[in-house]
Amino acid sequence: TLENIHELALGIELAGVRFLWALRKPAGTGNDEELLPAGFEERTRLRGLVCTGWVPQVTALAHGATGAFLTHCGWGSTIESFAFGLPLVMLPFIIDTPMIARAMAKRGIGVEVARDESDGSFDRDGVAVAVRRVMVEDEGKVFATNAKKLKDLVVDEGRQEQYIHELEDHLRRNKDV
């Protein structure tokens, strides 16, 4: 929603970190509606960029200046972050994404943005706290180390080939079940 976008923007601003934000216009918003809070881009222009067009996510994640990934925790995006060893700031919304976020938090890969338990909402303060925990505070070094360990597993081609062969063998053995 527009309210969610505004809280996310203000949370990123409060966190005080550099950012690239790939922002898609939410369905149902009119052409004349302001997506971002008044003055946000001007206040953050020296440390951030909001792109409303297509952004090559893998290229952005691979860039050496990328220190973390604020994600909705879709499986594809989460796997892409693994390939580059990036810690996560997680803001899941639908279907399986909360489960993925909990699994990543349990493994110490990042933190989930705090939500109000009664209605699932989040606010700018929760966004800022989560971003700062991962990108600024000492705890962020632990998340980064854990993410880099995960990268080593994911980019191990021999291990990935072994998994594929084991899956093929399993499927062949159980094709009639």
Mean pLDDT of 143-151: 92
Residues 163 and 159: their CA atoms lie apart, in Å, by: 6
User: What pLDDT score does 50 carry?
Assistant: 95
Q: What band does 89 get if pLDDT is binned at 50, 70 and 90?
A: very high
CATH code assigned at 151: 3.40.50.2000
Range of the domain at 118: 2-173
Q: Which residue has the higher pLDDT, 38 or 156?
A: 38
Reported as half-sphere exposure (CB side, CA atoms, 13 A), residue 173 has a value of 6
Mean pLDDT in residue range 23-42? 82
- pLDDT for 101-137, tens place per residue? 999 999 999 999 999 989 989 999 999 999 999 999 9
pLDDT band at residue 153 under the 50/70/90 scheme: confident
Sequence-distant (≥ 6) Cβ neighbours of residue 160 within 8 angstroms: 154
Taking residues 85-108, report their average pLDDT. Answer: 94
User: Residue 42 corresponds to which tokens in the numbers above?
Assistant: 């001007």
Number of domains in the chain: 1
pLDDT of residue 150: 86
